[in-house]
Structure 1
Amino acid sequence: MSDMTVKDFAAKVGRDVPRLLAQMKEAGLKHTTEGDAVSEDDKRTLLTFLKKSHGGSDSDAGKNRITLTRKTRSRIKTGERGKTIEVQVRKKKTYVKRAEEEKPKAAEPVHSGPRQLVGDMAEAEAERKAREAREAEERAAASKAKAAEDAARKEAEAKAAAEPSLDTLPVSDDDAAPAEDMPPAPPKEGRTDRRTAPPKKAAAKKGRHEREDDREDNRGDREERRRGGGKKAKRAERRGGRRGASTQGSGKHGFQKPTQPIVREVSIPESISVAELADKMSIKANEVIKAMFTMGAAVTINQTIDQDTAAIVVEEMGHKPRLVKDDALETEVLDSISYEGEEITRSPVVTVMGHVDHGKTSLLDYIRKAKVATGEAGGITQHIGAYHVEDEHGGVTFLDTPGHAAFTAMRARGAKATDVVILVVAADDGVMPQTVEAVEHSKAAGVPMVVAVNKIDKPDADPDRVKNELSQHGVISEEWGGDTQFVHVSAKSGEGIEDLLESIQLVSEVLELKAVPSAPGKGVVVESRLDKGRGPVATVLVQNGTLRKGDIVLAGLHYGRVRALTNELGQQVSDVGPAMPVEIQGLDGTPDAGEEFMVVADEKKAREVANFRQGKYREVRLARQQKAKLENMFSQMGQGEVAKVNIVLKADVQGSLEAIKGALEELSTDEVQVAVVSSGVGGITGTDANLALASEAIVVGFNVRADASAREIIEREGLDLRYYSVIYHLIDEVKQAMSGMLAPEWKEEIVGVAEVRDVFRAPKIGAVAGCMVVEGTVYRSKRIRVLRDNVVIYEGELESLRRFKDDVQEVRNGIECGIGVKNYNDVQVGDKIEVFDQVKVERSL
């Protein structure tokens, strides 16, 4: 046996390397690491030491023999009833080293002193020697069997050639030749030809010498089988010949049983079923269920388990877990994009915020030298506009956000996409609710602010009022020791515009805005819409890198190849650098405003990421809908049916659509709810009309119109179709419709009070109270309450109301009357009879 390392020796005897090194050190060997070589002398020294340490002697250590005792159990079935008998075979065999083997010696019992390591070493050595002996015997037996088979086949062929067979006999004397003149045909490989095979009768008539030879052969075969050869060796030899020359003549099969357990690396997602986990480990699901049951978790084959639990199970089964996140593909795609390169100074992105009608768009118009406000519906901005202007101070990109309360989310996205915020406040109006919201958005985004006090040319302008009111919200001017610049401007005359631009450039220089033009384009979606002629169109702001025509863009849930780039002037461009707005075409849908977009290299990967995001979005939306259904079910238990206003909403751009949906959903109350059953960007189609018909909804179009098919359905079915161009008009009308669906309130109104002065007894009526009307008017047809010491003791109706002997319908203040209370006779002097009425009050939101 050649030398081996300590690590190999430890693996062979089944011991840990540290423990084996410690034992070798105790035996006096100089092995310290697992790479040291172990010779045969080292092994004998270690074996001698271990035998001595367990009570053995030197003579025992010198013996080169090992005795193995083995037990084998098997079951056999006997008889027709299939009775099973268990058979146990005990074998004891002594192996002696070949160099010293002389004669077989009697089996001796194994010394009971050495522990498991000694036994393992000896057993391994004995098994190796026994295996070599068996292989040699099998090779010799196979060779002998093959030689005997060849000799028997040749003898049979010779006999067949000497004796005629039945097939070779002539049919007649005229047309048949003698049998000896016809040579036998060669036999086909793999089967015996009938013409060459010896006849059965001839085979039965063997001579005495032949029968003795057969008996001798049979005795030889039994002897060979006893020694491990015989027919088993022949069958093994034939199998080996079919499998190839590598195993021919060895008597072994081609399959080798693995000597060590197979350890697999199992990929585990965030959630996985028991069946899938078992399939990844290539084992039966029952094994996984048993393992989890022993760990204290009772599961079924189709049950889904979390990632941590699956990792514990995989480790318990002897495999290596590899945790995989669901967004691994998305993370891989995003991490593969490199934004490194030479940085340059870029233009600032400025967001204009403020209250409605404070002059935001008019101020931007003067800067851009364009009249944008004249084209806005209702005189207000309802979309986020992105514009780039160049002046002597450098380039500036402006984001114009709406000031109406419904566009809070749009203004918030504008603050997150910007570098500087210009807060426009009218000098004659002061700080308003949307002004405060703009301040909060700016602070939340951590963006520096420049306050533009507009309309200072008006007679009633008061800039100091603006400073005072903003200081209450934490915005302190530099004149008062703060860090916010206040610039007095006039969007009408242009006063202070240059000072405002200088302030913007000053703030941007302090921020040290940088970008890498050579990197792939990356930015934010400002707005998106569905154009009838061009398809989905998205307005994006490039924040870093360069966006080129033909790039693959991934924007939120959508992707596509950029077919065209259009700047704010409507001109086609080939590429767009940092801090520049542009309209792109080629996406497969309209991404939400505020979504990030990026340029990726592989269109296939972009499609996979977009599909993954859409799947996650559907799961989240479905979970929210289910949660809302459950919440509504529990909240409506024990209550009446809640009225609903169903709306099919279509808008021109995605930002307006989100703002309108948010505003309408906020109108819902416990009694009346607004349900937007469908919403989308683009014109009203026939599908929208059919959906409104099925859900009994109102069709609302914001800056869009219905096509011919939709108008036909709406006119034929009498659906309610309404167009709007100003958002607060839409909200007000929906609020009125909801108010009409509210249940009215009933309010009690006291119309008269009578004081009891005396009580009379009438034979047919009972107690009659003589009263004086002290307040209002007492009516016979209205309900009453009887009060004693200002405490209600009875509530009911009047049975009679008389003035002297006449029945009357009402008695006014200051007049005496007689009152009979229905079903109540315990009226006393001093009581008060209160007459009240219920008034219906219409409700509104």
Structure 2
Amino acid sequence: MADITVQHLAKVVGTSAEKLVEQLKDAGVKGKTITSTLSEDDKVKLLTYLRESHGKAKKDISAPKKMTLKRKTTVTELKQAKGRGASSVSIEVRKKKTLGRSAEEIATGLSSDELEEAKRAAQAHQDLVQEQGAAREKEQERASKKQEALDKIEAEKQAKLAEEKAILEAEQAKEAAKKAAAEAEEAAKRAELEAKQKPEPQPEPEPKSEPVEEPKIKIASPEIMARVKAEADAKKAKELGRKTDKKKAGSKFGGGILHVDKKPRRNKKKGGGKTRDIRLESDGKHGFEVPTKSIVYSVEIPESIIVSDLAQRMNVKAGEVIKTLMGLGTMATINQPLDQETAVIVVEEMGHKVVLRSDEDIQAELLADVIEKDGKEEPRGPVVTIMGHVDHGKTSLLDYIRESRVAAGESGGITQHIGAYRVKQGDSMVTFIDTPGHAAFTAMRARGAQITDLVILVVAADDGVMPQTKEAVEHARAAGVPMIVAVNKMDKEGAQPDRVRNELSQLEVTPEDWGGDTQFVNISALKGDGVDELLEAIALQAELLELSAPVDVAATGVVIESRLDKGRGPVATILVQKGTLNMGDYLVAGEAHGRVKAMFDEHAKAVKSATPAVPVEVLGLSSATEAGVEVYAAPSERKAREIAEFRQNKSKQARQAKQQAAKLEQAFSQMEDGDSATLNVLLKTDVHGSLEALKSSLTNLSTDEVKVSIVAAGVGGINESDVNLAAASDALIIGFNTRADASARRMIENRGVSVRYYSIIYDVIDDVRDALSGLLAPDIKEQIVGIANVRDIFKSPKLGAIAGCMVTEGYVKRDLPIRVLRDNVVIYEGQLESLRRFKDDVQEVKSGMECGIGVKNYNDVQDGDQIEVFERIEVKRKL
């Protein structure tokens, strides 16, 4: 029963609280007030005192009081037979129930059910203790038997070892006896020889010694000796292990019992059988100690880090980091990237140390084991890049040099990929890189200038310096490489080489014969005039540069171009810059990695290795990487994958940050400018270079009113997922030198997706520009078609004021809008309500004719006013 206060007990008993306090004091319960609580002992003392004060005998009121209840109930009557001798039997049910608590129940404070449960638990515990004791005795008996068996085996081993030792000692004694016999025989021979040389006096005959009986010894085989030694070592290791376990307090992991369970744990053996109690005896204390202070970590923070990664580095849950960010006023999700400054504040707020790391430092550490700096330098051939404006003869020059037909195979007569070729010139091989000349391929030409040793600037003598010519000069200067100018098309009638020199001199490209440092060579790519002089100039410049590179090191290079081949997978054109690239090497190129499965030269012939300044096509990368990225030969696949995954994570974080920034920017632009027309485009190309050029060109077509949105872009053919994405986003699919497969074509027909195929970049840009022009809102122009002078005003009861007019210019038409002019100032703009000629309604009145004009919703037309009639014309706009 719960404790109650003195005041509450007084209310129950029906007396005053003050009187009850006095009775408690007399009963021996002192220090109680009205608000004090009473325990069971206090109430028992009070009741005993009251009973004694009323003259009743003192007895133990805590003894159990029992009351027996009896009940008798007549349930029914049974009749034994029918007729005269029938009798009935009454059935009674008697119930007896004893109420009250036993002394044991009162002593323990438990109910009868709980008491019975406690008794059963105690009996079960006693049985368990007995069972454990029996199991422990059996275990000790089993251990003693096992120890006896081990001791027996050990004794046998010791006896065997002693036997082998005796065998070895006997053999050694036999060898010593043989040696002693040989020495005695040798001494006898020497004595006999001396006796022959000295005949007098005669030597006395030596007593014959009895022959020594050699013991019969059994020699042990090497196999037996090896087995004996192994068993001895095993026994020694076992003894050492047993002693170590004893030192660790019975646990092979040391430190005593880590956790103590109140209930025994039972493990069942495999395949069934009895359970075995594995509860360990302990003093009830944990072996694990809770750390008394928090652990401070040194957290490395790169330039951008995701919330989940930051939490993992601090060994806390991501929710704790998000909570800290919310306290700092920043709302973030578990996958949201954080900049370095925000991450530093969070780490310091959570009590850890900050270690700032830049992505370049992390990547440099990863590449430290990959890049080999030491190596013997050996001469190599030059890498020459041919640059210039479109259709100035770059590919035609290369075509003549390597005696092939490259230009004939290019779409539209222009180069749209970076091509790499090798040509033998003198004692060395020259690597030529051909770059496109169109404005859209600016990034490709920049990569061509960065990986080259020498630039040949091709300028048409009949066309002069063009925008892409200037751009090529800027790329060459930015890369810091020497340049040779080839003035092409000297065989044409309008050739003006001096004009080319004058225009290039304005770009600070001065010829040598004018006192500059740039070689100018006049050539004709079609006829081959001057090509030999150009090759000599290349050889001279390469000799001055003294080009060399280490060969016997891990290969490094750059990806010139990459594409996705349907039959062979990702294919990358790699220019080796240092070292030697061999078959089977592990590569890491940007975000891609893999192993070199096959290599081919520019003639599609398989090669096994590639030295510096050699371009090869490589199969085996995990994906078609971007052009221009660096390539490294990694020592292992694990290292290559580690570097590639680091770059993928970095790129993923950059994309997420860019997407969030784009969403905010798009939201603000929509708030400012309203909804703008958007042309969604899904772009698929054959190589990465063309993909980059097209994305840049199409994005630059966007204006404030119309925009081009690249929903997806990739390398390879058009597949079903591309069609699904285009259908969902209402996008136009553009395939540049790629086609849709059979399943994608069926889906295109079923879903009505618009697909266009191209092979020339001009056509793509022009068609997209026309499509954007169609999205532009047309311009509205007003054209005056007629003027009527008001001569008089007539009043009509139905139509109000009617202006009597004379049409002086053009014509007046009923459906066209009008303006009312007074002194050449517009005072009203509206529409005609009626147009009559005499009494007839007409649609049109021409110049020189009179008419009556009713202006709708305007009755202030006066004599001398002019009514100007005009029409609105929509004019389509173009970008």
Q: Given that residues 421 and 450 in structure 1 are in contact (C-alpha distance below 8 angstroms), is that contact kept between their aligned partners in structure 2?
A: yes
Q: Which runs of 5+ in 2 are unaligned?
A: 1-35, 40-132, 138-247, 257-282
Distance (whole Å) between structure 2 residues aligned to residue 347 and residue 513 of structure 1: 7
Match of 2:433 in 1: 399
- Give TM-score, length-normalised by structure 2: 0.61
Is 2:617 the counterpart of 1:583? yes
Alignment of 1:233-382 (within 5 A): 266-270=298-302, 322-324=355-357, 330-336=363-369, 337-382=371-416
Amino acid at match of 1:334: L
Q: Are residues 455 and 822 of structure 1, via their aligned partners in 2, closer, same or farther at CA, if it must alter by over 3 Å?
A: same
Amino acid at match of 2:300: I
Distance (whole Å) between structure 1 residues aligned to residue 489 and residue 642 of structure 2: 52
Q: Given that residues 649 and 678 in structure 1 are in contact (C-alpha distance below 8 angstroms), is that contact kept between their aligned partners in structure 2?
A: yes
Q: Are residues 354 and 278 of structure 1, via their aligned partners in 2, closer, same or farther at CA, if it must alter by over 3 Å?
A: closer
Q: Given that residues 285 and 301 in structure 1 are in contact (C-alpha distance below 8 angstroms), is that contact kept between their aligned partners in structure 2?
A: no
**Over residues 353-412 of structure 1, what are the superposed CA-to-partner deviations in whole Å (9 max), with x where a residue is unaligned?**
222221110011111111111112222211110111111274321111111222222112
Amino acid at match of 1:497: V
Q: Given that residues 366 and 491 in structure 1 are in contact (C-alpha distance below 8 angstroms), is that contact kept between their aligned partners in structure 2?
A: yes
Amino acid at match of 2:298: V
Distance (whole Å) between structure 2 residues aligned to residue 347 and residue 407 of structure 1: 27
Q: Given that residues 665 and 674 in structure 1 are in contact (C-alpha distance below 8 angstroms), is that contact kept between their aligned partners in structure 2?
A: yes
Q: Given that residues 645 and 673 in structure 1 are in contact (C-alpha distance below 8 angstroms), is that contact kept between their aligned partners in structure 2?
A: yes
Distance (whole Å) between structure 1 residues aligned to residue 726 and residue 309 of structure 2: 44
Query: Secondary structure of the residue that 2:773 maps to in structure 1?
Result: helix
Q: Are residues 577 and 813 of structure 1, via their aligned partners in 2, closer, same or farther at CA, if it must alter by over 3 Å?
A: same
Distance (whole Å) between structure 1 residues aligned to residue 687 and residue 459 of structure 2: 27
- Tell me the percent identity: 58
1:530 to 543, 564, 568: 564
Amino acid at match of 1:700: I
Distance (whole Å) between structure 1 residues aligned to residue 409 and residue 309 of structure 2: 60
Amino acid at match of 1:632: Q
Instruction: Quote the offset at 1:459 in angstroms.
Output: 1.1
Amino acid at match of 2:564: L
Is 2:756 the counterpart of 1:712? no
Q: Given that residues 356 and 404 in structure 1 are in contact (C-alpha distance below 8 angstroms), is that contact kept between their aligned partners in structure 2?
A: yes
Q: Given that residues 386 and 435 in structure 2 are in contact (C-alpha distance below 8 angstroms), is that contact kept between their aligned partners in structure 1?
A: yes
Q: Are residues 425 and 839 of structure 1, via their aligned partners in 2, closer, same or farther at CA, if it must alter by over 3 Å?
A: same
1:746 to 773, 780, 792: 780
Match of 1:646 in 2: 680
Q: Given that residues 301 and 343 in structure 2 are in contact (C-alpha distance below 8 angstroms), is that contact kept between their aligned partners in structure 1?
A: no
Is 2:819 the counterpart of 1:785? yes
Q: Which moved more, 1:454-463 or 1:721-730?
A: 721-730
Instruction: Quote the offset at 1:818 in angstroms.
Output: 3.9
Q: Are residues 515 and 791 of structure 1, via their aligned partners in 2, closer, same or farther at CA, if it must alter by over 3 Å?
A: farther
2:591 to 530, 554, 557: 557
Q: Are residues 759 and 565 of structure 1, via their aligned partners in 2, closer, same or farther at CA, if it must alter by over 3 Å?
A: same
1:465 to 483, 499, 504: 499
Amino acid at match of 1:794: Y
Name which one, 1 or 2, has greater alpha-carbon Rg: 2
Match of 1:722 in 2: 756
Is 2:721 the counterpart of 1:683? no
Match of 1:427 in 2: 461
Q: Which moved more, 1:808-817 or 1:560-569?
A: 808-817
Distance (whole Å) between structure 2 residues aligned to residue 390 and residue 325 of structure 1: 45
Match of 2:578 in 1: 544
**Over residues 117-151 of structure 1, what are the superposed CA-to-partner deviations in whole Å (9 max), with x where a residue is unaligned?**
xxxxxxxxxxxxxxxxxxxxxxxxxxxxxxxxxxx
Distance (whole Å) between structure 2 residues aligned to residue 287 and residue 407 of structure 1: 49
Query: Secondary structure of the residue that 1:700 maps to in structure 2?
Result: strand
Q: Given that residues 325 and 331 in structure 2 are in contact (C-alpha distance below 8 angstroms), is that contact kept between their aligned partners in structure 1?
A: no
Q: Are residues 611 and 80 of structure 1, via their aligned partners in 2, closer, same or farther at CA, if it must alter by over 3 Å?
A: farther
Alignment of 1:145-294 (within 5 A): 266-270=298-302
Amino acid at match of 1:597: V
Match of 1:515 in 2: 549
Q: Given that residues 289 and 298 in structure 1 are in contact (C-alpha distance below 8 angstroms), is that contact kept between their aligned partners in structure 2?
A: no
Q: Are residues 377 and 757 of structure 1, via their aligned partners in 2, closer, same or farther at CA, if it must alter by over 3 Å?
A: same
Q: Which moved more, 1:827-836 or 1:255-264?
A: 255-264
Q: Are residues 500 and 836 of structure 1, via their aligned partners in 2, closer, same or farther at CA, if it must alter by over 3 Å?
A: same
Distance (whole Å) between structure 1 residues aligned to residue 857 and residue 499 of structure 2: 70
Q: Are residues 798 and 659 of structure 1, via their aligned partners in 2, closer, same or farther at CA, if it must alter by over 3 Å?
A: same
Query: Secondary structure of the residue that 2:485 maps to in structure 1?
Result: strand
Instruction: Quote the offset at 1:527 in angstroms.
Output: 0.6
Distance (whole Å) between structure 2 residues aligned to residue 343 and residue 821 of structure 1: 96
Query: Secondary structure of the residue that 1:731 maps to in structure 2?
Result: helix
Instruction: Quote the offset at 1:419 in angstroms.
Output: 2.2
Instruction: Quote the offset at 1:510 in angstroms.
Output: 4.1
Q: Given that residues 589 and 632 in structure 2 are in contact (C-alpha distance below 8 angstroms), is that contact kept between their aligned partners in structure 1?
A: yes
Query: Secondary structure of the residue that 2:827 maps to in structure 1?
Result: strand
Distance (whole Å) between structure 2 residues aligned to residue 689 and residue 379 of structure 1: 31
Q: Given that residues 782 and 835 in structure 1 are in contact (C-alpha distance below 8 angstroms), is that contact kept between their aligned partners in structure 2?
A: yes
Q: Which moved more, 1:694-703 or 1:528-537?
A: 694-703
Aligned pair count?
611
Match of 1:445 in 2: 479
Instruction: Quote the offset at 1:243 in angstroms.
Output: 11
Match of 2:509 in 1: 475
Amino acid at match of 2:484: V
Instruction: Quote the offset at 1:829 in angstroms.
Output: 4.1
Distance (whole Å) between structure 2 residues aligned to residue 246 and residue 771 of structure 1: 117
Query: Secondary structure of the residue that 1:627 maps to in structure 2?
Result: helix
Is 2:454 the counterpart of 1:411? no
Q: Given that residues 243 and 254 in structure 1 are in contact (C-alpha distance below 8 angstroms), is that contact kept between their aligned partners in structure 2?
A: no
Instruction: Quote the offset at 1:491 in angstroms.
Output: 0.4
Q: Are residues 738 and 618 of structure 1, via their aligned partners in 2, closer, same or farther at CA, if it must alter by over 3 Å?
A: same
